[in-house]
Structures are given as C-alpha cells and as structure tokens.
Chains A and B, each alone.
Chain A
C-alpha cells in the first residue's frame, strides 16, 4: 500500500507550491503508510511530492520516498508493488544502470530513464505513481491496467494536484468541493462512483490502464495503454480447447500466486468457504510458503447455520496446513465501527464492510500483506451474470430493438401494478436486449428512470447527460469480444470490479494499513486466461481453479452453493439506515441513501451539502 500525493503549479500565474498543503494532504493518508513519511520540493517550488510509506519491500531507508535518481533529474512518488521488479532490475543492470537500493521504487526511476513513457508496458503489478522529469519539466503519471491502486487528479486551470484518495485532495483545502452530477448519478445507479468521475467536479480518477502527462500547458488528455476488453477479445480469437482448460488455469494461477508472494514481510490470506481463496491458499503452499496464516470472518448471527463459513474454511486451512484464525464479528461491533467506516470510505460505496472487518482482523494479528480471492468470479465466469445476461440478450434483443416498446411495456406493467415492487422486472424489455442494458439491469442499484425519485431533476439531467451510462458500458466492451462469456467478463472487470470491489478493497484495507494483493486480478494472468474464458460453462472455471493446487480442493467445497464473505452485513446496514427493507434490493437502496447522506453532510471530511446534492424525500 502507501499513499502518494503531489502539487504542480504549472501555470505561470499560479502561486508556488505550498509545502504545508502537501503535508496536509499526505498526512490525511497516514493510515496508508504508517512506516514513514517524506516530502520533496523542487528548488523553484513549482512542483512537490508527498509520500506515506507502508514498508513491504526493502524495509530500510533505501526504499524511502519521494525518491530521486543519482543526479536528481528524476523524482518519483509511488504506491503499489511491481512483482517483476527483480527481472527488470537485472535487465537494466545489464545495460549499465547502477542501483543504490534494493527497492522496486528505484527500478521505476531507472526504467523511466531507459524507456520513457513506454515503461508502463514492462510493469507487472498494481501501481499508481508520478515521476517528475526535471529536464523535460514534465510530470508523468501512470495507473495499473486493472486500476487496483487509486490515483485521483484535480486541475483548477493553474495548479495540478494528485493523491491516492479523494478525501486527501480535499483535506489540502485548495480543491473545490463543487459537486459532479455524473458522480452523484453514477453512485445512485451503481452503488459506487464510476471512474473517471468522483462526487466533485474538479476531482477525477486517472482511469485504470492510463498514463497522463502534465507540463507548462497543463495536463494532457489521459492516454490508454492497456485495455481489459481488448485482451478478452484477443483471447476469444484464440480460444483453447476444453480439455486444456485445467492445465492453462493451473499454470497461470500458480505463476500469479508465486509472483504475488514477493515481499520482505509475511504474506497472509483471506480465507472464505469458497473456491477462490481456498485455491490461493493451496497455491501459496505449492509456491513454497510453509507458514501461512489464513483469516476467516465469522458472524455471530450465523453461528451454527449453513451460512457460517468458518467450519468449511477451517477444513480448507487444515487441508493445506495453514494456521487458521477465525475472527467473529457481531452487529454491536459493526455499529461501534460505523463512524470510522464512513470516515475511511473515500467515495460512497454500498459495500466494503466485509473487507473492513477482515482487514481489521488481519492487522490485529500483525499482518501487513494479505492475498484476496477477489477477481476469481470475473475471470473464471463465476457470477450468475454469466448465465443471466446472455440469456436476457437473446430473449429481449429483437423486441427490445423496437423503438418505444420497452418504455411502454414498463409503464403498462407499473400502471397495472404488476411490477410495483420490482422495477427491474418491468424494465427487462427496455434494457435486457443489449449487453450494456442487461448489465445495468443486473448490477444497477436504481435504473435511470428511478433517479428522479431520489435526486433533484437538475442533477439527474446534468448527471445522465455527462455519465451516459449505457454508452460508457458499451465502451468497456468496445473491442467486442465475440463470445458471451468474454463480453460479460469484460463488463464485470471494467465496471463492478474496478469501481466497486477494488475501490472497497483499497479504502477498507488502507484504513487498517493492510496491503491487499489480488493474484486473480493480474494483467499477465488475464492475458494467459483470456483464451480460456470463452470455453467456460457454468461452474467450469471454479472447478479448474479448485484443481490447480497440487492438493486439489475437494468436491464438497467446489460444489457448495456460493455464499461469500459478509452476508449479514445486509441486515446490519438495513438496520443502520433505519429503513424497513422489504427485499435485498430495497435494503441496498436504503443503505445507499444512508451512506450518501453522510457524504452530503457538512463536516471535516464531508461535503458542504450543496443544493445539487440534496436528496429529495422519497
């Protein structure tokens, strides 16, 4: 983990960089990096970086940041892990580069010197970094292909600022809090804020897989260098035969897990009763890690029921000889932690509670790094959406293409009271006929026509015009992978996973100074497995992953219905939002309003409730 930030007074009329602002922004991220803090300013005070360090590789001061190269012509502030840094270093040394530390950070400086912007093509890992090139007088920013590490930028026309967190940028007190209706609308549609938007007009995410250059003329348009959908499309064009799937998954997953164990501190694992985390544990053992501590969340409410994951997780831990640690959480602890949770939440999210507690548990036992099975459902077609979305598209594709029919059908069903409590069912004809529309139905918290019940009309109108939800979804499958599973996988990876799961893993892990690593969210793994995805029938991907460790997971675990981390949090959040929730969807919507209300309230971290953010009574 780590927290990075910086300020570049690029415009000639802008005031020089204020060191105290760098420090305010940096220290808002103290939990991201409790092991060290640094600040760097150029001699002319036009550019400055901040860094909070969570020391994981090269624990000495040799890894301290911001880091300059030997002649001071390049400076970097970096958050993340470069899993192939040793290979890169080896290649650079052969070309004459001389290293002063054993950190991965220094490798980035040398790689930039050798390759310039093209360096990003060589990196394997999760990263967000900024490099100041003093000769070119330009700032270079980059973010990993999946967007595991966050990077937010703010440009007011004079000064460019960046940080790992939206709230950190705000805490510097120089960035406008004027609302961004596209972010507000996006949160209500999805339950998380879709990048590049945030709740604030002047703060945007540097999109996943993008680089950006800033010089005297200001920031250039972010440029993509890696595209998830394109990899799925390429993979679909060279799909592997069914009988090779297990071997492919075994090789790719083993290799990714081994790469993700690189650290100078202990690496643990989040263990549920599911296949993904169980297989990770098995592969950790295969990679040679003899001592593994595995953390499982259990809930008081589920004790003794089939939903309690602890017994099965315990069985898996036993199978692989891991030290198993079960952390029991109850509603009382949730209520006690809630203020801290909402403070740590960087942008509003309807999820992440489960990650909060499992990260808390990991930190309690002294872990700094833990692997997570996040991403298995996306790359191995584990979600119900892989079944539902193609089915809807084939059912509603033709009638849905008739102009106006879908809207009319919804209006009719609602008028007749058929769909009073199920707006999504009423909208199947309207949205179900295309992949983006069906995806919105599957993942949406609210549908566009429902927004006016929650937000003021101007926010809805401006927000939808800017967000263009369906067009934006279409872009994420722009390279049109030819097969259904690859299309859904691309949609899930570039939307739900990127904007919800990975953001939650970041803020909830960060709050406990815990680095969450995701071997199943890895661009190299994706390239290896994208030819596998098209051939995956329901359950096949998980069976292949279960068979990947040298000691495979038993069938009893593979065939068990999915529960996943954190089921009772739905009840807690519904209770905390003081709403009577008739259904799971209604509970999510009530919780969303609670969370959004928190962001809209004035407060040291909150939003000074501008009129456009006002939530209209239901």
Chain B
C-alpha cells in the first residue's frame, strides 16, 4: 500500500481548473486499492473543505514559500511512496521531497506554464520525474520540445468531466436563463485582460454577420467576469450588437449545468487552452461545442469527432454560420460519447494504467 504526498497549489475548496484537475487526480488515486492514504499540502488558502474522499487528508495552506517548502520536506520524512505535484513551479520542490522519501515523483502539466522554456531547475525536475501527466497532446509536445525526456514517461491525462453535467431538462434550463426563441451562443471563462486569447472578441466581431436559417435572433451569452468586461462591452456597442451580447457575470457553479443545457452552441475560439474543460462540460450537457484547432482544444473536441474544430481564427465566422445552420445533435448521444472518452471511469482507468508503468511504489512505513 502506498502513501501519497500531494504538493498542490490548491485542491479541495479551491476555485478554477487547476484545483479541479488536482481534485480529480487525487480522487482517482484515492479510489485505487493500492493507495493507503493521501496527504494533501495546499499552497494557497481555500474556501470551505468539501468533498474530500475517504483516506484523503488536506492540511491548512502554508504561509510563504519557505514555510511551504519546510512543511513539504517534513512531510516527505514520513516516507510516502509517491509524491504528486500539480504545478511546474513547485516541481523542483517535489523532486527534492521525492528524493528525500526515495519515492516516485509524478508531475502534472496543464498548458501555458510550459509554453515558454522552463527555468533550469524546473526543467531538471521534469527530466528527473518518473512520470509527467500532460493535460493534452499539445502540452505533452511542448514538454518534449523544451526538455530531454523519454517520450514514454510523458503521458496524456486529459481533464475529466464531472457527472453533474448531463442533458436533463433543457426547456426548464432555457426558462431559467430567460431564453425564448433566440439562438444562444455561450462562452464560459474569465474575462481577463491577460487571457484575451480566449477569443470573446472574435465571436463579437462575427456576430453582426450571423443569421439563423429560420430567423431566430442570434445572441451571445458571456458567463464569467473580469477586468476586460468594459472593453468587450465597448466592442459589442461598436459592432452594433450591444443588445445581443449578454454579460451574465460569474454564474454560480451549481447553475452551470443548466446554463450549458440552455445554450444552443458553446463556443470558445481560444488560441491558448491547455485543454478546455468547458468544452467537455458543454458536450456532456448535450450542447454542441466549437473551438479552434489550437493548443489543447483538439483533445477536448476529439479532433472534430465530438465537437467542431475550426482550422484557424479567420475561418471562425463561416464555421459559426455553418454550426448555427446545422440541426442540433442528439443530446443524449453527444453526452454519452463525451463521457465515454472523458468521464470519471475512463479517467480512473488512465490513472491506474499510468501508475502501473512506474511499478509498485510501496511506502516504507507500511
């Protein structure tokens, strides 16, 4: 039986994709019969701790880098068999902890953190880790570009989609978001000046030219908030579509499944996604999705087999028009196809198969 030490930015009680990915992986580890217990050391403050699986213990966050490193190395003194680290910037510390514990070291890579050449310490940590989980084929390719890694140790572990996202009652969902006959495009994500690559602008720019074949009004729902909202609002006004672009602000997590169900087309024409879990959430909710063939998005879109993959941003208006004109796919089938590739079961199988590669990682204490 293996003790696992998880050095994470945040996990339980954390917000955002990276915390979610950490929770998913920790959950999959906890479900393995060979794992005895998981000791989670978060770096950052968290909201209320909910949803901890059995055998998972999460400590309070640490004050400062030095304090965190001290605690991480002390925790390694308990001889875990596996040290898991969910962020490149903590990878050197994770490697040190793993060496102290004589444990296997597994590092998770998400996306843009590896788009630039990593620091020497980070690169060496990756090169010495036993396994690297990459959220997409694109992230994996970038890791292999920057580091001298045996390709066999660098695995793709895509994000998984929460079982809450199902087709369910679409009519009620549309009523909840005040949708009548409109054809609703939806984007979900932060509206941050540093994350303009997500492509809100591209959809707004295309909006004036989009026509539904039956004359339904095409509207664009923007879920999420951030410091770029005023600019986007100005752009919508300038394009003459201010009344067709609806800023929903931050939508509560509990309402997200209904929001996806309510939409007619989920669109995220981003050039910088490590993966794009929101594509999965939309498709698992039965709503078709559209994205660019850039970064990790092709993984989430199943190379075009699940969602629509647009070759490059210049082709977006035509692709949107085509998607608006196409009949809505069967929600149950789309959802089932998404879950069979990216559901919790597939995810757990991937984690188990991957850990099998680095063999038994027994704790010395047990």
Q: Interface of A with B (CB < 8 Å)?
A: 11-13, 15, 155-158, 176, 178, 201-202, 204, 215-221, 465-466
Interface segment, B63-71, B164-172, B186-194, B350-358?
B350-358
Contact A217-B353, Cβ < 8 Å, known A158-B137, A202-B141: yes
In the bound complex, residues from chain B placing their C-beta under 8 Å from that of A466 are: 148
CB within 8 A of B302: which of A15, A155, A157? A15
| Complex interface bits, B100-136 against A, C-beta within 8 A gives 1, otherwise 0 | 0000000000000000000000000000000000101
Contact residues of B: prevailing secondary structure: helix
For B343, the closest partner residue in chain A by CB is A12
User: How far in angstroms is the closest Cβ of chain B from A521?
Assistant: 28
For chain B, the count of residues having a C-beta within 8 Å of the partner chain is 30
Ordered by A's residue number, 28 sampled pairs between the chains whose C-beta atoms are within 8 Å are: A13-B158, A13-B299, A13-B302, A13-B341, A13-B342, A15-B305, A157-B137, A157-B154, A157-B156, A158-B137, A158-B156, A158-B299, A176-B141, A178-B141, A178-B145, A201-B145, A202-B144, A204-B151, A217-B356, A217-B357, A218-B155, A218-B357, A219-B151, A220-B357, A221-B150, A221-B152, A221-B153, A465-B148
Given contacts A12-B340, A216-B353, A218-B357, 19 further A-B contacts (CB under 8 A): A11-B156, A12-B346, A12-B349, A13-B158, A13-B299, A13-B341, A156-B137, A157-B137, A158-B137, A158-B156, A176-B141, A178-B141, A178-B145, A201-B141, A217-B356, A217-B357, A221-B150, A465-B148, A466-B148
A12 touches B341 (CB 8 A): yes
Q: Is the interface of A mostly helix, strand, loop or mixed?
A: loop
B312 at the interface (CB under 8 A from A): no
**Contact partners of B350 in chain A: CB under 8 A:** 11-12
The proximity string for B residues 142-183 relative to A, scoring 1 for CB distances below 8 Å and 0 otherwise, is 001100101111111010000000000000000000000000
Q: How far is the CA of A15 from the CA of B309 in the complex (A)?
A: 14
**Which residues does chain B contribute within 8 Å of A12, judged by CB atoms?**
340-341, 346, 349-350
Cα A68 to Cα B165 in complex, Å, equals: 43
Q: Report the minimum CB–CB distance from A45 to chain B (whole Å).
A: 12
Which 9 pairs of residues, A with B, have the shortest CB-CB distance? A157-B156, A217-B353, A157-B137, A157-B140, A13-B341, A12-B346, A221-B152, A466-B148, A156-B137
User: In the complex, which residue of chain A has the Cβ closest to the Cβ of B146?
Assistant: A462
Q: Give the CA-CA distance A202 to B141 in the complex, in Å.
A: 8
A465–B146 Cα distance when bound, in Å, is 11
Q: Which one, B134, B346, B356, contacts A157 given CB within 8 A? A: B134
| B-side contacts of A221, CB under 8 Å | 150, 152-153
**How many angstroms between the C-alpha atoms of A595 and B350 in the bound complex?**
43
Total of A-B residue pairs, C-beta within 8 Å: 62
Bound CA span A176–B145, Å: 12
Whole-angstrom distance between the Cβ of A215 and the nearest chain B Cβ = 8
Given the complex, which residues of B lie within 8 Å of A204, measured CB to CB? Answer: 151
Is the pair B158, A217 in contact by a Cβ cutoff of 8 Å?
no
Residues of B within 8 A of A13 (CB): 156, 158, 299, 302, 341-342, 346
**Shortest Cβ gap from B130 to chain A (Å):** 12
Which residues on the B side are within 8 Å of A220 (C-beta)?
152, 357
Residues of B within 8 A of A216 (CB): 349, 353
Q: Nearest chain B CB to A289's CB is how many angstroms away? A: 45
User: Judging by beta carbons under 8 Å apart, are A156 and B141 in contact?
Assistant: yes
Interfacial chain A residues near B140, Cβ < 8 Å:
156-157
- What residues on B are CB-neighbors of A155 within 8 Å? 151-152
Give the complex CA separation of A221 and B144 in angstroms.
15
Q: Which of B137, B299, B356 has the most CB of A within 10 A?
A: B137
Contact of A219 among B134, B137, B152, B158 (CB under 8 A): B152
Task: Give the residues in chain A near B340, CB-CB below 8 Å.
Answer: 12
Which residues of chain A have C-beta atoms less than 8 A from B154's C-beta? 157
Scoring B153, B156, B341 by chain A CB atoms within 10 A of each residue's CB, the highest score goes to B156
Cβ of B318 under 8 Å from chain A: no
**Considering only CB atoms, which chain A residue lies closest to B354 in the complex?**
A217
Closest Cβ neighbor of B349 among chain A residues: A12
Between A12, A176, A219, the greatest number of chain B beta carbons within 10 A of the residue's beta carbon is seen for: A12
The smallest C-beta distance from B29 to any residue of chain A, in angstroms, reads: 16
CA distance A360 to B356 in the complex (A): 50
With A and B bound together, what is the CA distance between A465 and B144 in angstroms?
13
Q: Which residue of A lies closest to B155 (CB)?
A: A218
Bound CA–CA A201/B144 (angstroms): 8
- The yes or no answer to B228 lying at the interface (CB within 8 A) is no
Complex Cα spacing A52 to B362, Å: 47
In the bound complex, CA of A158 to CA of B136 (Å): 9
CA A313 – CA B297 in complex, angstroms?
A: 63
